[in-house]
Amino acid sequence: MKGYCLFKLTIGSLILISGCMGGPKSPSFINLDNVKIVSANASKVVLQGDAIFNNPNAIAGKLTKTDIHIKINDADITDIEQTTSIDVPKNSNFTVPVNFSFNPKKLTQDNDGFLQNAIKSFLSNELAIEYAGYVTIEVLGIGFDVPIDYTEKVSLGLNNENIN
């Protein structure tokens, strides 16, 4: 009987606390920073960057999964699917390292108008990189799928001033 009363008191306290707090909120994706080309050759391009999120909760959590599809100049390139355990601090922004590689030949396969897009990218000195998918973050044991839908332009680091 004593254990049953303690159980009811614990459940009642949790309901009261979660009712006052409004329950945990889903962390939000802010943007991708510091995306750069780490290396590139004919068979492999490696990119890295930092995905920035915000945890609005007064309780810390863990990022447990990423599932992100990547396109470059509208060409399907690769997927980042990983299970991980990254600490998510309470009431603050946090950074998740993003690293991926792809075969640049994928840019030319089954992509009408690729040559036109490649020339345009070279002349504009940038690539359009699209990220779409989600990451899973656990707060108080509750998993939230945080959607990602972000596009950015990445400089190729080329100096086109002397091209005539």
* DSSP-derived secondary structure for 137-153: EEETTEEEEEEEEEEEE
Contact, 65 vs 136, CB < 8 A?
yes
Per-residue pLDDT of the chain (164 residues; tens, 9 = 90+): 665 555 444 554 444 454 455 667 777 778 778 888 899 888 888 888 888 888 888 888 899 998 989 887 787 888 888 888 899 999 999 998 888 888 877 766 655 555 555 566 555 667 788 889 998 988 778 888 888 888 878 776 655 454 44
Which residue in this structure is represented by tokens 């780490």? 38
DSSP assignment of 41-92 equals -SS-EEEEEEEEEEE-SSS-EEEEEEEEEEEETTEEEEEEEEEEEEEE-TTE
The CATH label, of 2.60.40.10, 1.20.1440.130, 3.40.50.11060, 2.30.42.10, for the domain at 25-155 is: 2.60.40.10
Which residues share a beta bridge with 67?
Answer: 81, 134
Specify whether the CB–CB gap between 150 and 127 falls below 8 A: no
In the 8-state DSSP scheme, what is residue 125?
Answer: T
- Residue 25: both structure tokens together: 């909120």
Q: Which residues pair with 63 in a beta bridge?
A: 86, 137
DSSP state of 19: H
- Residue whose pair of structure tokens reads 């254990």 in the numeric block: 3
